[in-house]
Structure 1
Amino acid sequence: MKKEEGLKETEAKKLLEKYGRNELEDIGKVSSVKIIWRQVKGNFVIYLLLVAMILSFFVGKIFTAWAILGVVFAVVAAGFIQEFKAEKAINALKNMLMPITTVVRDGKEKEIPSSELVPGDLILLRNGEKVPAECILVSQTDLSLDESVLTGESKEVKKSVPKNEKNISDENKLFMGSFLVSGKCTAVVLNTGMKTQFGKIAGMISTAEKELPLQKKINQIAKIMAFVAILIAVLTGTVALLQEPLTEEYLIEIFILVIAISVAAFPVGLPLVLITTLSGGAYKMAKKNAIVNRMSAIEALGETTVVCADKTGTITKGEMTVRKVITPRREYSITGVGYKSKGDFMLDEKKIDPKKHNELNLILKTCTLCNDSKISKIQGGSEYKPNGNPTEGALLIMSAKAGIFKEDFSAESEKEIPFSSERKQMTIVVKEGGKKAVYSKGALEVVLEKCSHIIKEGEIFRMLERDRKAILSENSKLTSNSFRTLGVAFKESGFDKPEEGLVFLGIVAMEDPPRDEVKDALLLCKKAGIKVKMITGDDIQTAIAIAKQIGLQVGQTLEGHELDEMKDQTLKKIIDEITIFARVRPEHKIRIVRMLKEKGEVVTMTGDGVNDAPALKEAHVGVAMGIKGTDVSRSVADLTLKDDNFATIVDAIKEGRTTFNNMKKFVSFQLSCNYAELAILFLGVLLVPFLGWPIPLLLALQILLMNLVTDNLPAITLGFNPSSRDIMEEKPMKKKELLNKNLLTLIAFNGLLMCILTLLVFFILYNVLRGDAEYARTTALATLILLEIASAFNFRSFRKGTLTRSIFTNKPLAYASIISIAVTLAVIYTPLNIIFETTPITLLDWGITIGATFIIIFVFDILKRINEKRKFMEF
């Protein structure tokens, strides 16, 4: 093959079959067997149940033993299904952001998934991109890389093109996983996947599973509950032993009861429900174009108090369109929208040929040659797809409207000084037809500072102070009307110092209109108590103009040079009042984030460049751009926006709040059920001497049934509760505890109420109506199951009543409740009643049971209504 033409597609396909995909073995991937083993390994509940099963076999309770074994399988299966679904959802999220590489095949540039690269492929890399495979350098411009992922040293590494193919050293290689800090290059792929240096290192690594902050909170709750459960279980067993004569069978029965109580009160489902809820929340975010890179971000999103958002491409559409070109003596306007080449050049409202206007033609040439990006025509129209920077794409579209393309020039690049966010300027030295020339573009103030001359009507003059003032005045007018401006310059001498003594050509003014959804998203932020701060590298006037268009209240503003001079203490005092930061460099962003964090704010920060990475890491939630963001920014971010849209951040915050609220609901519900069961069994034993009740009030298998069917199943479905309409009208959560004092009070009250109602039903059936233990026990079991189902519906909302809402507000909960009721009926009215030692109950008994259920619903609806008016408890 010819190196500059790359591989042929047919060759690439054969090589892909030979070498395989350019992927690392997913060492973090969890197999089904490993998921099953995780349900058993270290699971105290499983061990307790197995002991109970063996004891049941030992005393001849065969049905009970098999039933306990069934419960073991059910617990393992429930855990497996939830973890398997969570793993599947997480893998689906990973696949939504497949890395893309620009490759040359059949002599044409195209974008392909990095996984399809093969040895021999010719690839193009730019500043901020990750090296997708192990490569040999072919050509480079001002190239430096960060290889800290391999070396551990965060320093820039220079690379050079090999002098010959025989003597190739590490200095000539690009290593997979490193990224371009500056410059650009072309390279040939040498090794892919596990054959790369990066792949060999990855093969030696074993991934440690990270525990999320919420996981820690949940596990702490589980440990406390386990201790309380075992303590009360032992106390219950001790009291029970004192009530009856001691026989071997009675001792084993009490021991099994103690195990059953421990299992029932141990919140085995909490960690599983947490993972399911988080992965479900992440999947919902993905559907709204927000890809969660780290699960911990979901909690932080829900707590966000400040959003620091980039203007360009996040608040605005990111489709730059050149509207005006201003030379020292002329003002040209350009028609057309977006990336379409349809459009005319106008002067004094008359259509003109731009090629016949010397300065305008020179500006078009500069914007075309001094440009790192490319545009490719979309078939069947005048629309182009920009490949690279949106601003540079807009300049190429402007030139295309004049019929000027890069391919029209025979210019050879001799030197290039790339654009960077610090320099804000790009300059290129070219040789064309034996003549050299320098072309430069960049931020107006930066370019103007490096200009010593100006061109007027084809003649070059020394730039006077009044010329400089006139240019700055014109620029100020443009930026105050939301135009983004670039200064354009050239020269035909002094090539050893390309950026000195330039000749000023004019101003290119473009606009990037705000996104349609931003205005509503900002209103939502205002209602939610979230402050929004616009951060931009643009001029302050442009930023203010955009802010007014989108309805962002313009408070105080601050520019980059003012930040440089300002002390931290001063900035900390005024940062709350500042809504716009203009002419900001990446190092300013990290300082802004730190100051806000010191003020106690929970900060979500957006960024797209290599140098934004430190600020994204510093923020509580770093948000990278999926379209215009660099590989580096995406790799450190917690969240990636597939559409680069500010409104998507607000949607993600809403989903974060919903997920956190749902976790509070399912934790509160499950703990109140656990406490109710403990209290019923413990108080039931204590009341034996006074009421003559049988021991135990509920049997071991019945307790295990409830734990499986009515505790875990509804708890899981509470994690899928939809967002409440007013979730974005609440104040930011700001580092709220999962369980506050009010919630603990609610848990205790609900548990106590369920306990009292269940004991009351047992008293009516046993002491007042029938005096039959099995009958009273069955009715009490049915009552407790219905009370727990009703509680699940009560916990759907901490403010809205159950009776005023459809049961299908949360469809999974409705279906889970139907399953729970069906299982209960099966246990009472089918031969299963032999195993669970239940008996059929009458309509009167169901009437008492349903009456108790409505009591708990009515009580909670009344309390919610009172709380809504008085606001004496906040959850």
Structure 2
Amino acid sequence: MHTSEQNKKDSYQQSIQELVSAYEADTRLGLSETEALARLERYGRNELPAGKVIPRWQKFLAQFQNVLVILLLIATAISAGLWLYERESALPYEAIAIFAVVLLNALMGYIQESRAEEAVAALRRMSAARAKVVRDGVQRSVIAAELVPGDIILVEEGDTIPADARLIQTTALQTSEAALTGESLPVSKDTGLITEPSELGDRHNMIFSGTTVTFGRAYALVVAIGAQTQMGRIAGMLAMVPPETTLLQKELAHIGKLLGIIVMAIAIIMITTIILIGKVSSLAVLMDVLILGVALAVAAIPEGLPAVVTAVLALGVQRMACRNAIVRHLPAVETLGSATIIASDKTGTLTKNEMTVRVVITASGRIEMTGTGYSPKGEVRSCSPGNNDYPDNFPQADPGVMEEDKASGRIEGALRHELEWALAIADRASNAVLQHNADGWRVEGDPTEGALIVAARKAGLEADALDARFERVGELPFTSERKLMTTLHANKKKRECLLVFTKGAPDALLTRCSLELVGEETRALTPERRSEILKLNEELAAEALRSLGVAFRSLPADAFEADRADESIEYNLVFVGLIGMLDPPREEAKNAVSRAKAAGIRPIMITGDHPVTATVIAAQLGIAEDRRVVTGAKLEQLSDEELDRTVKEVSVYARVNPEHKLRIVKALQRGGEVTAMTGDGVNDAPALKTSDIGVAMGITGTDVSREAADMVLTDDNFASIVAAVEEGRTIFSNIRKFLRYLLSSNIGEVLVMFFGVLLANIIGLQTEDGLIVLPLLATQLLWINFVTDGAPALALGVDPPGAHVMRRPPRAKGERVITPEMWFGIAFVGVITAIGTLLVIDACLPQGLIEGAGSIPYAQTMAFNTLVLFSLFNVLNARSDKQSAFVGLFSNKWLWSAIPLSLLLQVAVIYVPFLQHAFSTVSLSLRDWLLCAGVASSVLWLRELSKLIYRAASQASRSPVAQQP
């Protein structure tokens, strides 16, 4: 195979035959999977080169770039230097302990960031762009990065072009190349040969990677991938995308800075007080005091909070991906908790998107079809009396058909002729492909078109026979403005004429029809007959059937060039019939609607379907029992003020265009609603971008809609949106949980140190010669920070959702991460922690309010142990500000793994001789442990009492308690 670089002429200057030969391609069958894999191995993936990868050792060293950590490392070096000078112990235990804790904290931070990066990378792989390609004669969807030179790709309206390719077949193709050439208007494309050298913008027979299809469709031969594409050459190397900073992370950073200022002020006051009152007499004591001040700041400031938040967000988003919702922008996770409206399309989202033709109505009668899904098996029967015979090539009735079905009339004569024409038109005016594999029957392409193909097969119209009779020579793709799709075919029976096959919305189609097919003849379509057809269409809608009209006309073969046809050929058509299809509601959608309502979220249906169909489905799902509906035509007549009032009351919108979605979104937002809006088409992009949470369809959605969206549904299911809201609320709730835990525990430590120094002479921490003894040593503070702020905090970050998560109203838009109620709980726990720990110190020392008989190391060890146990009891409190800690006590298996781990580490630091030296601890008795545990448990019981009082007060005032953790 020769690449374009090996040829003297560029791809756009070569004929299709030359390129097909050079790339050893096959325009009909495409490459084989074996050959595609071999080329993928040879030429690499269709990706731009990534930016320089940061080595792991550099990422690890980055953990030590925090100012406070650097100060600790300096303190470690000074402590080790003093040990070398004084040699008062066998080893520099303090220096070793400080360095070990700093190292462990760095390791924990590195692991958290690595897990977050892995989670984000996994999400990128899940949301990788896809391309439609022909392999082994079958059209299929593959990851765009796996395209190779020589592949035959299909691009359609809304697609992002995955590689540079030479066009080999086009249908009214236009592309937007603004990202590559700066040309603001769409560029028309065709397959014509260009002989002279041309600029990029003039290469009309080429399509380029990264540009988008705005109209039409085409098949093309891939000639360049990855860095060899025009976009790749211009871009050079893909710069590393900076990490996205969410509003949540910015607010947490602000909280961290605020706490840092407060704690640093306290540390300075403490250090100054100790130096002035504590009679610091040596350099070693002075260094101990300074190290203590730094250690206090490190222990109290949650400097690792952004990393923990990133890890929790990334892991939570990965869980959402497992529930078929891929979040493309992290801020969407925060917004999900505030969503008050889910504005959803109907087809495929609230329904199964497995259309099945149930009814065909023509001039001579009504035909019904049985069967479900995409299997081309089912009975075709007439509901018109007097038709007694099936055509020979129609399928036999299924064995399970009911007796009354067997008695129905059979199809012959005029009705048979009309049915064949209706389904032939529907089959040919389609781009879907019906395929059969080990998993059963499936449709590649639009589900509606797939249903039409299945119906044709049920009626005995086989693809090969239709291909032989009607060769497609042109196409006018569907647009939301015309609501029609038209194909042109060479009529093999009458070679002097072309056949125009059109399908689309019946009301739009009828305006372009002047005749009707009756048997083998055509008759004038009278106003009375038009009214009758529209009434039949209404009756189909009342049966919750989606209807399409089909029509045709004949044109002279030499009238125009088929590949340059315009919509003028869609007039003077012969109307053939109506086709009614059923897309049943998803079984899980009704439950999802109910859950959304219970969560204070109002579901809204916005569809292009018939108003009656929309109201029937909406009523079945519980979206709108009142069956009120506003059509697109009515919506256009409403002023903004009238629309603002309407969206507050109406939950069903039918026959709307994508442009109407934008008006609805803006009206909802003016009313203070936080809206999640679904979309799948190119024209949906503005609404998706404007809405608070844009949700694109992963199966039926276009690349343009996915790029504009914040979230992509891999299964196009409404239930997945509700599941994403639940996960989003859970993630935000869990962030609040570990914030509540970290801040309350850290404030408790600060208060112990601060008041321990200020009240030293009252609780026995001041010696007879006036020297102040610290409640805790620097190494002990750092250990508490490592043991309690590590595993337990992360375990809270993955706390499972409680039953209450979807029973409370949405979080108010703009509500702060830490509410006044949370601050009260944090301060309450911090004060209890400080009082309890200081009382334990007092009870252990011979002087003070409570008489004791222990030594200073013993009292410090008791305080050290009590603080750790306070934190471990507090982690149970932190799961909710209002709900009892005993509700769902054992639901978080990670938490009940983290607590024993922290206890085991604490036991080790108290009893292992080497760690005793390093952290200046002494062994404690069982009685001591019981005392520490009894005092520390007070934080649980007192917090439970405060929650009980709150719930009682709320109930007394008859205000509902929002069980929000």
TM-score bucket of the superposed structures, by smaller chain: over 0.9
Q: Is contact 1:162–1:168 with CA below 8 Å preserved after alignment?
A: no
Q: What is the match of residue 364 of structure 2? A: 329
Aligned to 2:82: 59
The offset of 1:635, in angstroms, is 2.1
Q: Which amino acid aligns with 2:134?
A: V
Q: Residue 345 of structure 1 contacts residue 354 of structure 1 at CA under 8 Å; is this kept in 2?
A: no
| AA partner of residue 633 (structure 1) | S
Contact 1:35-1:84 at 8 Å conserved across structures: no
Q: What is the distance in 2 between the residues matched to 1:795 and 1:373?
A: 54
Provide the secondary structure at the position in 2 that maps to 1:659: helix
Inter-partner Cα distance in structure 2 for 1:846 and 1:109: 70
Distance 1:284 1:51 in 2: 41
User: Cα 1:592–1:29, aligned 2, differ >3 Å: closer, same or farther?
Assistant: farther
> 1:302 and 1:196 mapped to 2: Cα distance?
41
Which residue of structure 2 lines up, in the alignment, with residue 762 of structure 1?
A: 841
The alpha-carbon deviation at position 498 of structure 1 amounts to 1.1
Q: 1:774 aligns with which of 857, 861, 864?
A: 857
Q: What whole-Å deviation, never above 9, does each CA across 1:70-127 have from its counterpart, x for those lacking one?
A: 1221111011101111111111122223433232344443433322211122212122
Structure 2 unmatched runs, 5+: 1-23, 84-90, 384-407, 561-567, 766-771
> Which residue in 2 is equivalent to 1:565?
637
Match in the other structure for 1:474:
536
Instruction: Tell me whether 360-369 or 531-540 shows the greater mean CA deviation.
Output: 360-369
The question of whether the paired residues in 2 share the 8 Å contact of 1:424 and 1:446 is answered with yes
Q: What whole-Å deviation, never above 9, does each CA across 1:705-760 have from its counterpart, x for those lacking one?
A: 00111123311111111101111110111322101111111111111110011111
Aligned to 1:743: 822
Amino acid at match of 2:457: A
Deviations 1:593-643 (A, max 9, x none): 111112111111111112111211111111111211112222222111111
Specify which of 735, 740, 752 is matched with residue 680 of structure 1: 752
2:585 to 481, 494, 514: 514
Q: Secondary structure of 1:461's partner?
A: strand
Q: CA deviation at 1:168?
A: 6.8
1:398 aligned partner: 455
Q: CA deviation at 1:334?
A: 0.8
AA of the residue aligned to 1:33: W
Q: Cα gap change, 1:554/1:17 in structure 2, threshold over 3 Å: closer, same or farther?
A: same
Query: What is the CA distance between 1:470 and its match in structure 2?
Result: 0.6
1:475 and 1:38 mapped to 2: Cα distance? Answer: 68
Q: 1:211 aligns with which of 242, 245, 259?
A: 245
Question: Could you say if the C-alpha distance between residues 300 and 460 of structure 1 is closer, same or farther in structure 2, counting changes exceeding 3 Å?
Answer: same
- Give, in whole Å, the separation in 2 of the partners of 1:558 and 1:340: 36
CA offsets per residue over residues 436-470 of structure 1, 9 Å max, x none?
22111100110011111222233322221111111
Distance 1:63 1:54 in 2: 12
Separation (CA, whole Å) in 2 of partners of 1:571 and 1:787? 56
Contact 1:144/1:182 (<8 A) preserved:
yes
Aligned to 1:449: 511
Letter of the structure 1 residue corresponding to residue 786 of structure 2: L
The range that moved more, 196-205 or 227-236, is 196-205
1:240 to 244, 258, 274: 274
Which residue is 2:611 aligned to? 540
Residues 1:184 and 2:207 are matched in the alignment: no
In structure 2, the residue corresponding to 1:593 is in which secondary structure?
A: helix
Measured after TM superposition, the shift of residue 167 of structure 1 is: 5.7
The aligned counterpart of 1:412 is: 471
Distance (whole Å) between structure 2 residues aligned to residue 803 and residue 10 of structure 1: 59
Structure 2 Cα separation of the partners of residues 153 and 621 of structure 1: 30
Instruction: Sort the Cα spacing of 1:165 and 1:113 in 2 relative to 1 into closer, same or farther, 3 A.
Output: farther
C-alpha separation in 2, matches of 1:287 and 1:379: 24
- Answer whether contact 1:722 1:810 (CA < 8 A) is retained: yes
Residue pair 1:353, 1:402 contacting (<8 A) in 2 also: no
Provide closer, same or farther for how the CA distance between residues 690 and 854 of structure 1 changes in structure 2, counting only shifts above 3 A: closer
8 A contact 1:602–1:734 mirrored in 2: no
Does 2:377 match 1:342? yes
- CA gap 1:379/1:211 in 2 versus in 1, 3 angstroms: closer
Determine the C-alpha separation between the residues in 2 that align with 1:230 and 1:841.
33
For residues 195 and 672 of structure 1, what CA distance do their matches in structure 2 show? 56
- Greater shift after overlay, 52-61 or 500-509? 52-61
Change (3 A) 1:102 1:168: farther
Which deviates the most, 83-92 or 512-521?
83-92
**What is the CA–CA distance in structure 1 between the aligned matches of 2:72 and 2:504, rounded to whole Å?**
72
Q: 1:723 aligns with which of 783, 789, 801?
A: 801
**Separation of aligned partners in 1, 2:239 and 2:843:** 64
Tell me the distance in 1 between the aligned counterparts of 2:888 and 2:107.
33
| Residue identity opposite 2:314 in structure 1 | S
Residue in structure 2 matching 1:46, options 69, 75, 80: 69
Structure 1 residues 150 and 38: CA distance shift in structure 2, 3 A: farther
Q: CA deviation at 1:262?
A: 1.1
Q: Does 1:174 align with 2:199?
A: no
Q: Distance in 2 between matches of 1:69 and 1:581?
A: 65
Q: CA RMSD in A?
A: 2.1
Q: Which runs of 5+ in 1 are unaligned?
A: none
How do 1:222-301 and structure 2 match up within 5 A?
222-247=256-281, 248-301=283-336
Shift of the 517–347 alpha-carbon distance from structure 1 to 2, 3 Å rule, reads same
> What do the CA deviations read for 1:665-695 (whole angstroms, capped 9, x no partner)?
1111111111111111110111123344142
Q: Which whole-Å CA distance do the structure 2 matches of 1:565 and 1:699 have between them?
A: 75
For 2:670 and 2:64, locate their aligned partners in 1 and report how far apart those are by CA, in whole Å.
Answer: 44
Question: 2:63 is aligned with what amino acid?
Answer: Q
Tell me which residue corresponds to 2:39. 15
Retained in 1: the 8 A contact 2:133–2:152? Answer: yes
Q: Give the match for residue 530 of structure 1.
A: 601
Partner secondary structure for residue 314 of structure 1:
coil
Secondary structure at the counterpart of residue 892 of structure 2: helix
Question: What's the counterpart of residue 354 of structure 2?
Answer: 319
Distance 2:189 2:299 in 1: 64
**What is the identity, as a one-letter code, of the residue corresponding to 2:154?**
L
Instruction: Tell me which amino acid in the other structure corresponds to 1:425.
Output: L
In 1: Cα distance, 2:499 partner to 2:701 partner: 32
> How far is 1:844 from its partner?
2.1
Match of 1:821 in 2: 903
TM-score by length of 1: 0.96
Match of 1:235, SS?
Answer: helix
Alignment of 1:114-125 (within 5 A): 114-125=144-155
CA distance in 2, matches of 1:546, 1:390: 18
The answer to whether the 8 Å contact 2:158/2:681 transfers is yes
Q: Distance in 1 between matches of 2:308 and 2:669?
A: 31
Compared with structure 1, are the counterparts of its residues 22 and 467 closer, same or farther at alpha carbon in structure 2 (3 Å cutoff)? Answer: same
Q: Figure out how many residues of one structure are paired with residues of the other and give that number.
A: 871
Whether 2:533 is the aligned partner of 1:500: answer no
Q: Percent identity?
A: 38
Higher mean C-alpha displacement, 193-202 vs 653-662: 193-202
Q: Distance in 2 between matches of 1:613 and 1:79?
A: 39
Q: What residue is the counterpart of 1:848 in the other structure?
A: 931
Once the two structures are overlaid, the 10-residue window that deviates more, 597-606 or 412-421, is 412-421
Question: How many angstroms apart in 1 are the aligned matches of 2:887 and 2:168?
Answer: 70
**Equivalent residues of 1:670, 1:712 under 8 A apart:** no
**Pair 1:371 & 2:430 matched:** yes
The answer on whether the counterparts of 1:85 and 1:276 sit within 8 Å (CA) in structure 2 is yes
CA contact (8 A) 1:135 1:187 kept: yes
